[in-house]
């Protein structure tokens, strides 16, 4: 066979091979996207990984693999993939947004804010960007920047309930209880089944001094939890603690016991239940719960203080002194961080 015919055959075969390869890659990407659209996250993540191995940095495979892993809750695995994606595609605002969201979920607020700032250079911020950035700022205790983000988000989407909810959290942090209450009430008008909004409404009302209204809010949160598919001990802690504060320890006990059934390792629940038993003149039960509390949460000053009071009441001054000293250490540590709560005062329970 003449040379030029041999070369023509080789070139034709190579072109055919490239065509098949391109078709195969396109077909694989289409199949992976189908898995993604059908919410088969594990299979989609695996398929996108294969595509990336075949053509490193040439497709959006790592972006969608990271999104699949995020849906699976595998944030630590998703982060390096999305970091590799934005390195290969630095002009992708969606890549930077995904990186910001993943870092937010990993409780890396500074890194999350950096990623959202990169996205903002490439395309206008949307309400979702601003709501997540607000939560990043809240994690860094920058409530002013958080509030500004949410105000901007609400300008873009005035009825964004997530923005309203987060706005309530920030106003709570800032001590602006009237605005916090109004925000949580607005959320609940839109979604009466949102348990955390109900809890946080109760916290805001309690801090505002409207104790009976707070009690009703906590009770509603407990009622909602009772019929929820997944349960939380938090509404039981809040309701039980306020019942104890109002001198209704007998009513508090079954509420707190239910909370401990859901979360037996909650030092706060053990502590509050111990105080309830203390008020009911049941020192043995009170000591058991308070001992559990300080073992589970040794940095909780009020729990040490409550146990010290118990030891004083039952004539054990040496043990009481140990607990008073432990309480003072924790109170001093809180004061050094800017928390000026007084000895024996219940710690504020911050909304989430």
* Whole-angstrom distance, CA of residue 283 vs CA of residue 273: 12
Task: Please report whether residue 3 resides in a domain.
Answer: no
How confident is residue 342, by pLDDT bands cut at 50, 70 and 90? very low
Task: Please report whether residue 116 resides in a domain.
Answer: yes
Reply yes or no on whether the pLDDT at 178 is more than 70. Answer: yes
Task: Please report whether residue 70 resides in a domain.
Answer: yes
Structure pTM? 0.80
Domain containing 49 equals 25-124
Which pLDDT does position 336 carry in this prediction? 78
Task: Please report whether residue 338 resides in a domain.
Answer: no
Task: Please report whether residue 63 resides in a domain.
Answer: yes
- Residue 181 has a CB neighbour count (10 Å cut-off) of 23
124-135 in b/e form (b: 16+ CB < 10 A) is ebebbbbbbbbb
Which pLDDT does position 351 carry in this prediction? 54
Q: What are phi and psi of 300, to 5 degrees?
A: -90, 100
* Average pLDDT for the chain: 89
Are 169 and 137 in contact by the 8 Å Cβ rule? The answer is no
**In 3-state terms, what secondary structure has residue 342?**
coil
Q: Bigger pLDDT: 19 or 287?
A: 287
Which residues, in sequence order, are CB contacts of 323 under 8 Å at separation 6+? 294, 304, 305, 307, 308, 311
Task: Please report whether residue 253 resides in a domain.
Answer: no
First to last CA, the chain: 78
How confident is residue 338, by pLDDT bands cut at 50, 70 and 90? low
Task: Please report whether residue 250 resides in a domain.
Answer: no
Which pLDDT does position 29 carry in this prediction? 86
Which pLDDT does position 335 carry in this prediction? 82
pLDDT tens, residue by residue, 127-149:
999 999 999 999 998 999 999 99
Reply yes or no on whether the pLDDT at 16 is more than 50. Answer: no
| 69 membership: H or E segment, kind and range | helix 61-71
Are 29 and 61 in contact by the 8 Å Cβ rule? The answer is yes
**Tokens found for residue 222:** 């407990």
**Tokens found for residue 9:** 């055959």
Whose tokens are 């075969």? That residue is 13
Which pLDDT does position 334 carry in this prediction? 80
Which pLDDT does position 26 carry in this prediction? 54
Please report how the helices 267-279 and 301-313 are oriented relative to each other, as an axis angle in degrees rounded to 10: 30
Which pLDDT does position 67 carry in this prediction? 97
User: What's the DSSP call for residue 141?
Assistant: T
Are 81 and 95 in contact by the 8 Å Cβ rule? The answer is no
**DSSP string of 183-246?**
HHHHHHHH-TT-HHHHHHHHHHHHHTT-HHHHHHHHHHHHHHHHTSSS--SHHHHHHHHHHHHT
Task: Please report whether residue 312 resides in a domain.
Answer: no
* Whole-angstrom distance, CA of residue 318 vs CA of residue 332: 21
Which pLDDT does position 333 carry in this prediction? 86
Which pLDDT does position 57 carry in this prediction? 92
Number of domains making up the chain: 1
Are 47 and 28 in contact by the 8 Å Cβ rule? The answer is yes
* Whole-angstrom distance, CA of residue 272 vs CA of residue 274: 5
- Kindly report the CATH number assigned to the domain that includes residue 66: 1.25.40.10
Are 274 and 287 in contact by the 8 Å Cβ rule? The answer is yes
Reply yes or no on whether the pLDDT at 311 is more than 80. Answer: yes
Of 157, 201, 195, 196, give the one whose Cα is nearest residue 178. 201
How far, rounded to the nearest angstrom, does the alpha carbon of residue 18 sit from its chain's CA centroid? 48
Reply yes or no on whether the pLDDT at 74 is more than 50. Answer: yes
Are 98 and 134 in contact by the 8 Å Cβ rule? The answer is no
């Amino acid at each position: 066979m003449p040379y030029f015919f041999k070369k023509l055959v080789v070139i034709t075969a190579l072109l055919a091979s490239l065509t098949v390869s391109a078709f195969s890659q396109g077909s694989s990407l289409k199949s992976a996207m189908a898995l993604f659209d059908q919410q088969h996250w594990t299979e989609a993540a695996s398929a996108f990984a294969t595509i990336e191995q075949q053509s490193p940095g040439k497709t959006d495979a790592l972006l969608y693999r990271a999104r699949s892993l995020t849906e699976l809750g595998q944030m630590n695995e998703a982060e390096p993939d999305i970091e590799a994606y934005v390195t290969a595609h630095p002009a992708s605002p969606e890549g930077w947004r995904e990186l910001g969201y993943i870092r937010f979920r990993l409780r890396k607020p500074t890194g999350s804010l950096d990623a959202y700032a990169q996205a903002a250079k490439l395309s206008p911020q949307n309400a979702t960007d601003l709501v997540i950035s607000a939560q990043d700022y809240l994690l860094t205790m920058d409530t002013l920047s958080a509030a500004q983000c949410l105000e901007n988000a609400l300008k873009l989407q005035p009825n964004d309930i997530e923005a309203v909810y987060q706005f309530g959290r920030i106003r709570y942090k800032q001590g602006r209880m009237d605005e916090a209450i109004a925000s949580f009430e607005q959320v609940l008008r839109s979604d009466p089944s949102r348990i955390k909004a109900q809890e946080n409404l109760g916290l805001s009302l309690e801090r505002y001094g409207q104790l009976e209204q707070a009690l009703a809010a906590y009770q509603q949160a407990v009622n909602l939890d009772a019929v929820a598919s997944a349960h939380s001990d938090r509404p039981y802690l809040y309701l039980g603690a306020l019942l104890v504060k109002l001198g209704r320890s007998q009513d508090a006990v079954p509420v707190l016991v239910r909370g401990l059934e859901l979360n037996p390792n909650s030092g706060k629940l053990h502590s509050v239940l111990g105080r309830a038993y203390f008020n009911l003149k049941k020192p043995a039960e009170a000591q058991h719960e308070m001992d559990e509390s300080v073992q589970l949460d040794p940095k909780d000053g009020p729990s040490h203080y409550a146990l010290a009071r118990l030891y004083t009441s039952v004539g054990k001054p040496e043990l009481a002194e140990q607990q008073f000293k432990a309480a003072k250490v924790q109170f001093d540590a809180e004061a050094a961080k800017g928390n000026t709560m007084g000895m024996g005062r219940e710690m504020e329970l911050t909304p989430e």
